[in-house]
Structure 1
Amino acid sequence: MISAYDALVGFSSLGIRILGYVFLRWIPGHPFPPLIIALFATYAGLTLGGISQSVVKSRQRHARDPGSARENAVRPGPLRSTTSKDGGSSRILRTMLSGIPHSSCRAASTITILVNILISVMVVDLTWSPTWFYPSHDLAFARLGFVSHDSVKILVREPQSAVPSVAMSYRLLPDVLPDDPSRGWTLVETTTSLNVANDFTAAFTINSLLPDTSYQYNTTNQFSGTFKTGPAPGQYPSNSDSFTFLHSSCIVPNFPYVPFRHHLSFPGFAYLSELLPSLNAKFMLFLGDFIYVDVPRRFGNDRETYRREYRQVYASPDWPSVSSPSTLNTSLPWIHVYDDHEIANDWDKNETGVYPSAADPFTHYQASVNPPVVRPNVSYFSFTQGPASFFLMDTRRYRTPFDGTDGKWTNESLPLDERKSMLGPQQRDDFLVWLSRKEPAGVKWKIVVSSIPFTKNWRFGSEDTWAGYLGERQVLLQSMWTSSRDNGYGVIVLSGDRHEFAATKFPPPRTGEDQDMWPEDVAVHEFSASPLSMFYLPVRTYRQEDDEDVMLKYLPDGNSKFGAVSIGRDGGVDYKLYIDGKQAWEYRVELPKRGAERSWKFW
């Protein structure tokens, strides 16, 4: 019968190994590190105590029988000599698997103890090393933000006191209009506002640019890069038959964990970097969870804690490969919205608590070079480029807190501004105005960017998604169908958050009093893709249960997922999903018939 000592040692050892594997390879959740460390402390204490007790007993036995001690010195390992070969093999196997050391299996005992030590060290390494060794206070870099058809926004960080100011200049690339006298360097502006208040960042804007044209920028702190302006609204890139952009969300460094890999490395960036030359993408739409302030552990609630997380991403050795890759002749602009992990998990507390600390670095590092806000002092954005108009929602700051319901608007007497809402009254009104707005000729699609899934088919944690706000969702869907019916625009929703991929179709109702209000081809399509570099779980949580949210494709596996959206000159959208560096799925969405007819008449 197993002793209490062996039971405790075996339990703590198995706990270290099972939880360690889950933490290092499946999900780096914040409850795991303290549990694993507590288990290791228990294991180490019991093991050391057992070894000490064994040594004491051995000495006492040898003191009572000196002859036995001399015999043991000549013939070591007396227990081995009395153990059969098969019994010894099984004991070695039990020792290796259970983690329980045994005096007759010294080599196996040493190895099994080392295994538990190594697992615990790796857990500590993944959890604390980035914070200990990479505060990244000295990070200096420049990156592209929003690039329109006639302007560009560029973020610069320079913390060195020896550089009190930074100036930016730009010019046409030398091979563009080589005989044009205006292709020399033009000074944009000089900033002296780099200080601790903005974490030594500055946002530069260059205006009055030519559409679909390549430029070069240069800063006085030795950063330079190239960019290409987008096509004018309603137009296409001059060198392509399609307008392409990317989307994804969710990144955590060095996960799944690999020993000796750089602590700030993002494996998913390598997949993206390899594919960028063939994608010809105009920009990346990053749909939130750019940082995980609470994964694997939260180290504070102050502004500096949040700032450090952003600095670490931009300090990653892999960041240049997806922002200014050497394989491209231009840099890739990144456009951002935030989600919960930039604040706290499943955030629904508006602007209270840690929100001001979380909003500070997002404002400086992301929003300052984002597309224009819809109105002053809000955190949702809109822009039009090429054949598409975009609305980037804020699904965290304005939402009604969780109330345990699905958010259906069943009480018609309740004022609209008092009903459960994801967007809040002002953002909802702005969104509906954008949906109904007539766009410049040639614009064919309305692209809705939501950090969390629009579908209700994800059955785990659904209250955090639009599944908990179905009343407002229905209003938005009806407005989307109406925009397609009346104006001919196709509507696509892009989302992330779930660490899985799913494509969902939202057809107009075919029964009931509204069945004749919208034609079938105005159906809205959602593509939800994540993570770009993070975990996925072998648990299936997406399930269709009615005809309102129709599953087109569900692909949950893969640590790196992103989508490429291409709008062709014929008006159709070709969507390609990439998982771990390989194309996994492709789908085409046609423009609503009235939109196609309107485009035909125009052309």
Structure 2
Amino acid sequence: MHGVASGDPLDDSVILWTRLDPSAGLPDGDVEVTWEVAVDPDMAEMVASGAAMAVAALGHSVHVDATGLSADTIYHYRFSLGGYASTVGRTRTFAAVGTQPERFRFAFSSCQNWEQGYYAAYRDLVEQDNLDAFVFLGDYIYEYASGGYADPRGRQTGQDFECETVQQYRDRYALYRTDPLLQAAHAKVPWIITWDDHEVDNDYAGATSENNDDSQVFLARRAAAYQVWYEFTPVRLDPPRGPDYDIYRAYAHGDLIRFHVLDTRQYRTDQQTNEPFLETLGQAVQERDDAKQFSDQHTMLGTDQFDWLVAGVRESDAVWDVLAQQVFMFGGNALPGGDPPVVVVDTWDGYAGERQRLLQAIGVGSTDGADNLVVLTGDFHSAAVGVLRSDPFDAGLPVVGVEFMASSISSSFFDGDAAVAGLVDLALSTNPQL
């Protein structure tokens, strides 16, 4: 019902995933399934196999760490239970650190609102045979009740609730995972996945919900959301036990590329806005307030993740260090003539001090700093490329990296070709870093 998936490859192992259909009369307890890995899609040349538990307390999801594999190798895998065998999935291991692969080809995106369109973008991914991985940057589901996000475009969830409980989040993920193109994309290549806000609650920050709900109530909701995210994700982590869950991690394909996978939601302090704030394109914007947004106490990553990232990049031997994260870092003046700039406070512009400290600490261009820093971004439902400076509004500072922001899978940005064209012209004229 929900297909198969793989993710978080190492040079000798990869995580394999599936989930049993709860409507198929499953027992209350755990269920044992068989998994197999082969070098051929017909599953004739087996190289690994075993038994794994579909854990009832985790929605009968299955997570297998298939170990003992060869580096930089394509494999195929399947699950079976009784007389039923799953779809055969295709995956791969990464090259070993210390080697220098010739190439690595990946795609990335985010934001796949069920009611905002269809998943045709995944057809392109499935039809390509030369991709090594897919990086998903968050908003895998949207938590709203049906019709609660913009205008539905052709299909509705039929779920008249906003997700708050384990069962509600399970129902939402289960619906999304019925999409055949999403299933096919998961079966085609290993995914590296992080979350953004809609896996829990729009624009949440740490223990603060969008609507400033009681923190204990919200943390219970966050715990439910994090658990179900794990249940449906092929991720190299133990299951969460409560509302705190460290998902930041790193994966390298030899010494060619290293992905530093970030969480910009769980540890951040609340967005700093002056009341009343403006809203444009559905985003809270305001004039940059240096006293707030450059405060040492205002953080996007939290201390532990910040230190882990800086150390990881500075110690990396990869040709390319890639930050897989959620909200744009290259900065953006949201209105023409804004001086000081009018910024979107949910992005790195709202956490400008930490952005400056991070880019300086990474040490691009120094003898032991990053050589080629690339930032991957989703969230904004639009595509853009820009250069990175420690302060994006000071063109006299050196460029320290480049950022690629991918369009969404389905979530809408702005209706009307003429309006979009005008917005693009405005963005380029007021933001020379883009």
Q: TM-score range by the shorter chain?
A: 0.7 to 0.9
Give 2:126's aligned residue.
Answer: 273
Q: CA deviation at 1:408?
A: 4.3
Match for 1:362: what amino acid? Answer: W
Give 1:451 shift: 0.7
- Alignment-derived partner of residue 532 in structure 1: 409
**1:505 touches 1:550 (CA, 8 Å); kept in 2?**
no
Distance in 1 of aligned mates of 2:408 and 2:357: 29
In structure 2, the CA distance between the partners of 1:407 and 1:436, relative to structure 1 (3 Å rule), is farther
Give 1:431 shift: 1.2
**For the residues of structure 2 that align with 1:411 and 1:292, how far apart are their CA atoms?**
28
Displacement after TM superposition at 1:337 (Å): 0.8
**2:303 maps to which residue?**
425
Instruction: Write the distance in 2 (CA, Å) between the matches of 1:420 and 1:185.
Output: 50
**Residue in 2 that maps onto 1:165:** 32
CA distance in 1, matches of 2:357, 2:273: 20
Within-5 A mapping of 1:552-591: 552=434
Match of residue 345, structure 1, among 202, 206, 209: 202
Provide the residue aligned with 1:286 in structure 2.
136
Q: In 2, Cα distance between the equivalents of 1:503 and 1:438?
A: 24
Same amino acid, percent of matched pairs: 25
The equivalent residue for 1:335 is 192
Q: Secondary structure at the match of 1:472?
A: helix
Which of 364, 372, 395 pairs up with 2:231?
A: 364
Q: Output the CA distance in 2 between the equivalents of 1:510 and 1:230.
A: 34
Q: Which amino acid aligns with 1:344?
A: D
**For the residues of structure 2 that align with 1:312 and 1:359, how far apart are their CA atoms?**
17
**How far, CA to CA, are the matches of 1:433 and 1:173 in structure 2?**
39
**1:232 pairs with 2:82:** no
CA contact (8 A) 1:348 1:400 kept: yes
In 1: Cα distance, 2:41 partner to 2:133 partner = 23
- The Cα RMSD (Å) is 3.5
Native 8 Å contact 1:146 1:371 kept in 2: no
In the alignment, the residues of structure 1 paired with residue 180 and residue 49 of structure 2 have an alpha-carbon distance, to the nearest angstrom, of: 30
CA shift for structure 1 position 308: 1.6
1:446 alignment partner in structure 2:
321
1:543 partner letter: A
Deviations 1:221-279 (A, max 9, x none): 31233322222235455xxx4211111111123534xxxxxxxx5233234434x23xx
Alignment deviations for residues 541-566 of structure 1 (CA, whole Å, 9 cap, x no partner): 873688xx7434xxxxxxxxxxxxxx
Deviations 1:145-166 (A, max 9, x none): 2222210101110134279311
- Find the counterpart in structure 1 of residue 252 from structure 2: 384
- Once residues 511 and 450 of structure 1 are traced to their aligned partners in structure 2, the CA distance between those partners, rounded to angstroms, is 21
User: Which residue, 312, 318, 339 being the options, matches 2:175?
Assistant: 312
**1:296 corresponds to:** 147
The residue that corresponds to 2:67 in the other structure is 207
SS at match of 1:503: strand
Give yes or no for contact 1:436–1:483 (8 Å, CA) kept in 2: no
- Kept after mapping to 2: 8 A contact 1:457/1:545: no
Are 1:486 and 2:355 matched, yes or no? no
Deviations 1:70-101 (A, max 9, x none): xxxxxxxxxxxxxxxxxxxxxxxxxxxxxxxx
Greater RCO, CA 8 A, separation 6+: 2
Cα pair distance change 1:321/1:503, threshold 3 Å: same
Query: 1:131 maps to what in 2?
Result: none
Runs of 4+ residues deviating >6 angstroms: 370-373, 409-412, 508-512
- How far apart, CA to CA, are the structure 2 residues paired with 1:508 and 1:304? 43
SS of residue in 2 equivalent to 1:356? helix
> What is the deviation of 1:390?
1.5
Gaps of 5+ in 2: 149-159, 209-214, 275-287, 336-342
- Partner residue of 2:184 out of 299, 321, 339: 321
8 Å Cα contact 1:372/1:382 also seen in 2: no
- Counterparts in 2 of 1:99-114, with a 5 A limit? none
1:434 equivalent among 312, 322, 328: 312
Query: Whose Rg is larger?
Result: 1
Matched to 1:249, the amino acid is S
Give the structure 1 partner of residue 107 of structure 2: 246
Matched to 1:228, the amino acid is R
Cα shift at 1:285: 0.6
Alpha-carbon separation, structure 2, partners of 1:459 and 1:199: 43
Query: For the Cα contact (< 8 Å) 1:170–1:188, is it kept in 2?
Result: no
The one-letter code sitting in structure 1 at the alignment partner of 2:106 is: F
Helix, strand or coil for the counterpart of 2:201? coil
Shift in Å, 1:458 = 5.6
Deviation at 1:220, TM superposition (A): 2.0
